[in-house]
Amino acid sequence: MTPLLAAGVGLMAGAHTATWGMYKDAPHEGFSRRKYARSMVLGAIIGLIISLATGLDPRSAADLVILFGATYAVERGMAELYKTFLREQDQSKYSIPMQFAIFGKVVRSRAARLLGGAAYGAVLLGMVLLVYLIDRNRVGPHPLPLVLLVGGLGGWISAFGGAWKDAPYEGFQIFKFFRSPLIASLYALGLAQLTDNLVLITLAATGFTVATTETYKTFFFPSKPRGKFAGTPVHFPEMLVRRQRYIALYVAIWVAVLGAMAKALVG
């Protein structure tokens, strides 16, 4: 049953990301079942692969939490790589381009974008390898400063990536820049109580950071358009009502995962 449960946890992570993405984008882009299901299918596959590769068993509350967060991070990372460097799409509908841009100017050359994507992907894999080597060479428990520093790595990547994309249009925002690294480090501190695998701590902390910040931006400010749609018209006003149906699913996933986290930490 472990592979099936692992795929189920990955499906939950994918449904979570798909729901906040749809909630923010659908009033501007419309609702696509295929797009909504894409993250769930990808999440299920990623969850299964991570479980098989690491031995995480979602029958354990601690392993379920780690698997959910790690799957979340990998799924979001793959999605952002695709949208930024691989996808061909008209950027005129966005107030902030989603494709790779330098100082706010979109790189039109597909070859240049592919090269940039390869370099970016190599940096990410290099960082994962570095964390793995640090973890492999440890003697005893990881010191707290190391957990906070390395565990927050995904937050720093998110902060620099967000500033690179948004700052040319919105200006540099200090709170926004340091928010993700701080949250990621705090999550890493808690997740270190569930596993001593530094790679999994870093990935899971990154995933939970994305889930937390997107929940805050999406559902605490539902009337505020995403930055990429700021100042653009709402083409599908019916979605402002229809999207409410998915909130129960979103909350249920949060309750299940946070309940497992509480159980694992208390137990």
The strand pairing partners of 106, in sequence order, are 101
Quick one: pLDDT at residue 233?
84
C-beta neighbour count of 136 within 10 angstroms: 9
Q: How many angstroms separate the Cα of 213 from the Cα of each of 86, 218, 219?
A: 25, 8, 10
In this predicted structure, what is the pLDDT of residue 18? 97
pLDDT in tens, the chain (267 residues): 899 999 999 999 999 999 999 999 999 999 999 999 999 999 999 999 999 999 999 999 999 999 999 999 999 999 999 999 998 887 777 878 888 888 878 888 999 999 999 999 999 999 999 999 999 888 778 899 999 999 999 999 988 888 888 888 778 888 888 999 999 999 999 999 999 999 999 999 999 999 999 999 999 887 777 778 877 888 899 999 999 999 999 999 999 999 999 999 997
- Which structure tokens are listed for 64? 């379920």
Is residue 101 helix, strand or coil?
Answer: strand
CA distances from 21 to 35, 57, 226, 255 (A): 10, 28, 10, 19
- For residue 27, the model assigns a pLDDT of 93
Q: 218-225: long-range contacts (C-beta < 8 A, 24 or more apart)?
A: 218/20, 218/23, 218/24, 219/20, 219/23, 219/247, 219/250, 222/23, 225/24, 225/28
- How far is the C-alpha of 147 from the C-alpha of 251, rounded, in Å? 29
The amino acid at residue 140 is G
Separation of alpha carbons 51 and 139, rounded Å: 25
- Which residue shows structure tokens 């419309």? 30
Task: Supply the pLDDT for residue 7.
Answer: 98
> 106 by DSSP, 3-state: which?
strand
What is the signed CA dihedral for 93, 39, 17, 10, rounded to 10 degrees?
-170
